[in-house]
């Protein structure tokens, strides 16, 4: 196993250097069910990028425990996300898939970064503020969550981070911390770039098109899970909040509901919003929604089928162990460099 793994690593690294490949890193939390927002904003990009880049895709379970989680459920969700990664088309022969807590470097580097991140900048993170957190009993982990995320990224000398638009501020913070450490200690980190899509970056909730589709929403019809079946998808789409006036036209400000559905239609069908508007000119919301439900169902059915096969096949743990081995390999090198520059440990 070790020999095979080492060979694969040498090949991968040599290949990357020779082809001038970029390194890609991203992560998804194993909390709740993965929805079409996650897919259109992030996972779809993961699949596309693996063709020409060296990609590492992580299941960030340490981020999940920033708020208490049921241990059994967390482990189940971790394997579910791994299976979904494969089901949407991430290929373990091309990409490294692994679980964050299986690579100790994430926590280790996070400490060094924590000492270079400011309370002020962390307090300004909108995701933290939006959650109404910041009270006496908020965990320090939740507050410093974006520093752990910066650690995930910087640990691998990452070039590109494909994420949804909600992560923009976290990516900026990661870049700021990297630049600060580089300034203080001299060239330690590569400063990464975020990669955001135009159509899928911000899929909104179906029952409230002014807030983003979220895993933690109470109403199950506010989102569509990648594992939902046809009837559930149809129900959620048909009940989706639309706007007054029956016209199918993109206008994010005045018609946020229909605009969100147009975005979803466009992202799943590959047709442009203008083409879809033209197709449904004069048609009612009912017809449009009916066909949207069919488009989404057609896209998700093979994912659901593959997910079930993979989840039952018993291949996951082996893939995740191999992935962690490869990730450890890279991360140990970065950590050695960081410790040297910061003067940690003994030479």
Interface positions with ligand TRP (CB under 6 A): 25-27, 29, 60, 63, 149, 152-153, 161, 163, 167, 170
Residue nearest to ligand TRP (CB): 27
* 209 binding partner (options ligand AMP, ligand TRP, none; Cβ < 5 to 8 Å by kind): none
Q: How far is C-alpha 91 from the geometric centre of its chain's CA atoms?
A: 16
* 149 binding partner (options ligand AMP, ligand TRP, none; Cβ < 5 to 8 Å by kind): ligand TRP
Say which residues have a Cβ less than 8 Å from residue 105's Cβ, sequence separation at least 6.
155, 328, 331, 332, 334, 335
Least Å distance between CB 166 and ligand TRP? 7
Catalytic residue among 76, 131, 317, 336: 131
* 153 binding partner (options ligand AMP, ligand TRP, none; Cβ < 5 to 8 Å by kind): ligand TRP
Among 65, 87, 113, 163, binds ligand AMP (CB under 6 A): 163
Among 215, 232, 279, 339, binds ligand AMP (CB under 6 A): 215
Among 41, 105, 209, 323, binds ligand AMP (CB under 6 A): 41
The interface region with ligand AMP, picked from 117-125, 142-150, 197-205, 283-291 by CB under 6 A, is 197-205
Helices (H) and strands (E) in the chain, counts: 16, 5
Measured between alpha carbons, how far is 50 from 171 in angstroms, rounded to an integer? 20
Measured between alpha carbons, how far is 91 from 51 in angstroms, rounded to an integer? 10
Q: Is 44 a residue that touches ligand AMP (CB under 6 A)? A: no
131 as an active site residue: the answer is yes
Measured between alpha carbons, how far is 45 from 52 in angstroms, rounded to an integer? 12
Measured between alpha carbons, how far is 59 from 46 in angstroms, rounded to an integer? 13
93 as an active site residue: the answer is no
* 23 binding partner (options ligand AMP, ligand TRP, none; Cβ < 5 to 8 Å by kind): none
Take residue 135 and report the two structure tokens written for it. Answer: 């009270």
- Hey, how many other C-beta atoms are within 10 angstroms of the C-beta on 110? 23
In terms of CB distance, is 85 or 285 closer to ligand TRP?
Answer: 85
Q: β-strands 193-195, 23-28: how paired?
A: unpaired
Q: β-strands 54-59, 23-28: how paired?
A: parallel
Among 24, 25, 37, 189, binds ligand AMP (CB under 6 A): 37
DSSP bridge partners of 193: 160
Q: How far is C-alpha 295 from the geometric centre of its chain's CA atoms?
A: 23
Q: Is 257 a residue that touches ligand AMP (CB under 6 A)? A: no
212 as an active site residue: the answer is yes
Q: How many CA atoms lie within 13 A of 199 on its CB side?
A: 20
Q: How many CA atoms lie within 13 A of 226 on its CB side?
A: 29
Catalytic residue among 22, 94, 190, 215: 215
CB-CB contact of 192 with 154 (8 Å): yes
In terms of CB distance, is 158 or 167 closer to ligand AMP?
Answer: 167
What amino acid positions are annotated as catalytic residues? 131, 212, 215
In the complex, the residues that contact ligand AMP under the rule CB under 6 A are: 28-29, 37-38, 40-42, 163-164, 166-167, 200-203, 212-213, 215
């Amino acid at each position: 196993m070790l020999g095979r793994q080492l060979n694969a690593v040498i090949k991968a690294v040599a290949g990357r250097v020779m082809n001038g490949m970029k390194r890609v890193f991203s992560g998804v939390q194993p909390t709740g069910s993965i929805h079409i927002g996650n897919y259109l904003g992030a996972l779809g990009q993961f699949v596309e990028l693996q063709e020409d880049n060296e990609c590492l895709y992580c299941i960030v379970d340490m981020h999940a425990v920033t708020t208490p989680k049921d241990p059994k459920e967390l482990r189940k969700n971790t394997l579910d996300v791994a299976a979904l990664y494969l089901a949407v088309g991430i290929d373990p022969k091309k990409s490294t898939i692994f679980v964050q807590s299986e690579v100790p470097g994430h926590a280790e580097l996070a400490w060094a970064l924590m000492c270079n991140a400011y309370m002020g900048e962390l307090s300004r993170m909108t995701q933290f503020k939006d959650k109404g957190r910041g009270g006496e009993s908020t965990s320090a982990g939740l507050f410093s969550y974006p520093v752990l995320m910066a650690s995930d990224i910087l640990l691998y000398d990452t070039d590109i981070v494909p994420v949804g638009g909600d992560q923009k501020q976290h990516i900026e913070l990661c870049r700021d911390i990297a630049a600060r450490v580089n300034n203080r200690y001299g060239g330690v980190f590569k400063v990464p770039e975020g990669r955001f899509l135009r159509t899928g970056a911000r899929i909104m909730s179906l029952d409230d098109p002014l807030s983003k589709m979220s895993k933690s929403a109470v109403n199950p019809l506010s989102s569509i899970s990648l594992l939902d079946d046809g009837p559930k998808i149809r129900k959620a789409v048909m009940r989706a909040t639309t706007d007054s006036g029956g016209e199918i036209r993109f206008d994010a400000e005045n018609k946020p509901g229909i605009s969100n559905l147009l975005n979803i239609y466009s992202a799943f069908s590959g047709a442009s919003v203008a083409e879809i508007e033209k197709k449904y000119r004069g048609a009612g919301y009912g017809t449009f929604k009916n066909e949207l439900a069919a488009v989404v169902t057609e896209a998700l059915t093979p994912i659901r089928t593959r997910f079930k096969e993979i989840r039952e096949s018993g291949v996951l743990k082996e893939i995740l162990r191999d992935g962690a081995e490869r990730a450890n390999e890279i991360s140990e090198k970065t950590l050695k460099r960081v410790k040297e520059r910061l003067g940690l440990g003994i030479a």
